[in-house]
Amino acid sequence: MRKHQRWGAAALFPRRRVWGLWAFGIGAAAMMAAGLVVAATPIADLGTLPGGRSSAAVGINDDGTVISQAPSVLYSSHAVRWDRAGGLTDLGGLPGGGESDAVAINDNGVVVGQASTASGEQHAVRWDPTGAITDLGTLPGGRSSAAVAINDNGVIIGQASTASGQQHAAQWDPAGGIADLGTLPCHTDSTAVGINADGVIIGTASTSSGQQHAVRWDPAGGITDLGTLPAHTDSTAVAINAHGTIIGTASVAKVEPRAVRWDPTGGIIDLGGLPGGRYSYGAGINDDGVIIGTAHTASGQQHAVRWDRAGRIVDLGTLPGGRYPNSAAREINTDGVIIGWVAEATGESRAVRWDDAGRITNLGTLSGGDSYALAINDDGVIIGYASMKSGYTRAVRWDPAGRITDLGTLPAHTDSTAVAINAHGTIIGTASTSSGHLRAERKRNSPMHQ
């Protein structure tokens, strides 16, 4: 298992899986990371293709021509695994079900995620190193569940619905037995997002009014409210390291976020932001206590940042030349190598890597425009996805020298995305197929500002 925790999504932008559309979620996260705001101009419905139900605009040129992707009704995805040599295996799904999604892998090669059942519900699942799938089920009376992380001891965490329809953090032991982790008093829901080797779990508990607090569960399942900063109302935990240090965000009514750190005893520290900037977000932490995230600059851009163990912040900046004014940090490994992406004001993004001295490298892309680096292991192998001229996406791997490899997709499938990699270089992700097509629509160019 990687010696750093991401969950979720991007800790900065936790991923909520919607079948067939999570790649669009990353694109939306990149736009958020770029700090883009659309001016108040008239909006026009660009429509979709005949028989289609949705569409998404993904680019615009100087003449105001918008490029959008409009998937048709048919969309199918399968969890997949790539071995160290790049060999691709379809992990399949549950009997009678259609789709599956792999989200995490430990160093023993056990994969977890979710899959649809024959009745159309979503259940947490586990694939053993041979690829055999197990339905992890849900809580008594509940209908759905999802797994988001697994440690090297085989303990799995995620969410499951209760008989009353609430969502509770859940834990599965190595034998597959489920436990309801519950929530805080007067709170209705909870979500687990990360677990370390000692079995300490972090997540969020929420009230019916929407207020949220970061929480920690000890290995016995006892819950602790981690609280928030003075004069703040909400908090969210996003990552935990091997020593029990937790990072996340505190906010006032879910706005004006500040990156925060909780020590193993639960003491909270405001990590602050960049000079003149108002907001900061925690995204990841390694076992040396180095924290990464994103912060606003005085001019309103968003930059990837790094905090050392003493809490001192460093602006990691963006690529030279001014084309990409915004950046976001995604993960950090044991050696202090950070990965993420930079973004144009128009939204196009490039995967990047910062070394432990803060020097940035453009990791490039495939034939299309965008690329995103989503995970890195301690050998410096990076995975993510990149777009192609066809408009489809491909899972990619960058070696420690920064060379990109297209990992391909399954036969008769159009897209793929890599989401996690373990210490041995085994990669997991999703291959999907869609009859969506790209089309251009003419629309008046709307100004965008930061």
Higher pLDDT, 195 or 344: 195
pLDDT of 32 strictly over 50: no
Per-residue pLDDT tens over the stretch 57-105: 444 443 443 333 443 334 589 999 999 999 999 999 999 998 999 999 9
| Strand ranges in 344-445 using DSSP code E only, listed in sequence order | 349-354, 360-364, 371-376, 382-387, 393-398, 404-406, 415-421, 427-434, 437-442
Q: In the chain, what percentage of residues exceed pLDDT 90?
A: 73
Please, what's the largest Cα pairwise distance for the chain?
A: 60
- Domain-by-domain residue ranges, the chain? 79-438
Q: CA torsion 282→288→289→295, rounded to 10°?
A: -40
Report, as an integer, the average pLDDT of 345-358. 92
C-alpha of 318 from chain center: 21
Task: Provide the pLDDT for residue 75.
Answer: 56
> Do 338 and 329 form a contact (C-beta atoms < 8 A)?
yes
For all residues of the chain together, what is the average pLDDT?
A: 83
Q: What is the DSSP letter of 29?
A: H
C-alpha of 315 from chain center: 22
Task: Provide the pLDDT for residue 72.
Answer: 35
Task: Provide the pLDDT for residue 434.
Answer: 62
Sort 409 into a burial class: Cβ within 10 Å, 0-12 / 13-18 / 19+: buried
* Single pTM value for the model: 0.82
The pLDDT confidence band at residue 256, using thresholds 50, 70 and 90, is confident
Alpha carbons 104 and 128: distance in angstroms, whole number: 12
Q: What is the rounded radius of gyration, in angstroms, for the C-alpha atoms of the chain?
A: 21
> Do 386 and 370 form a contact (C-beta atoms < 8 A)?
yes
Assigned token pair, 114 = 């979710």
pLDDT of 6 strictly over 60: no
pLDDT of 269 strictly over 60: yes
Assigned token pair, 134 = 């197990």
> Do 150 and 161 form a contact (C-beta atoms < 8 A)?
no
Sort 286 into a burial class: Cβ within 10 Å, 0-12 / 13-18 / 19+: buried
| Strand ranges in 212-354 using DSSP code E only, listed in sequence order | 212-217, 223-227, 234-240, 246-252, 255-262, 268-270, 280-285, 291-296, 302-307, 313-317, 326-332, 338-343, 349-354
Task: Provide the pLDDT for residue 140.
Answer: 97
Alpha carbons 198 and 423: distance in angstroms, whole number: 18
pLDDT of 41 strictly over 50: no
Task: Provide the pLDDT for residue 189.
Answer: 96
Phi, psi (degrees; rounded to nearest 5) at 437: -135, 160
3-state secondary structure of 384: strand
Contacts of 344 (CB under 8 A, 6+ apart): 34, 323, 324, 325, 326
Per-residue pLDDT tens over the stretch 196-208: 999 999 999 998 7
Nearest residue to 189 (alpha-carbon basis) of 175, 177, 171, 203: 203
Task: Provide the pLDDT for residue 112.
Answer: 98
Classify 292 in phi/psi space as left (phi over 0), alpha (psi -120 to 50) or beta: beta
Per-residue pLDDT tens over the stretch 169-191: 999 999 999 999 999 998 999 99
Residue with tokens 């940090």: 329
Sort 185 into a burial class: Cβ within 10 Å, 0-12 / 13-18 / 19+: exposed
79-438: in CATH 2.130.10.150: yes
Alpha carbons 373 and 203: distance in angstroms, whole number: 24
Higher pLDDT, 57 or 353: 353
Per-residue pLDDT tens over the stretch 358-399: 999 999 999 988 999 999 999 999 999 999 998 899 999 999
The identity of residue 303, as a single letter, is H
Task: Provide the pLDDT for residue 422.
Answer: 98
Task: Provide the pLDDT for residue 208.
Answer: 79
pLDDT of 253 strictly over 70: yes
The pLDDT confidence band at residue 8, using thresholds 50, 70 and 90, is very low
Phi, psi (degrees; rounded to nearest 5) at 447: -65, 145
Alpha carbons 190 and 203: distance in angstroms, whole number: 7
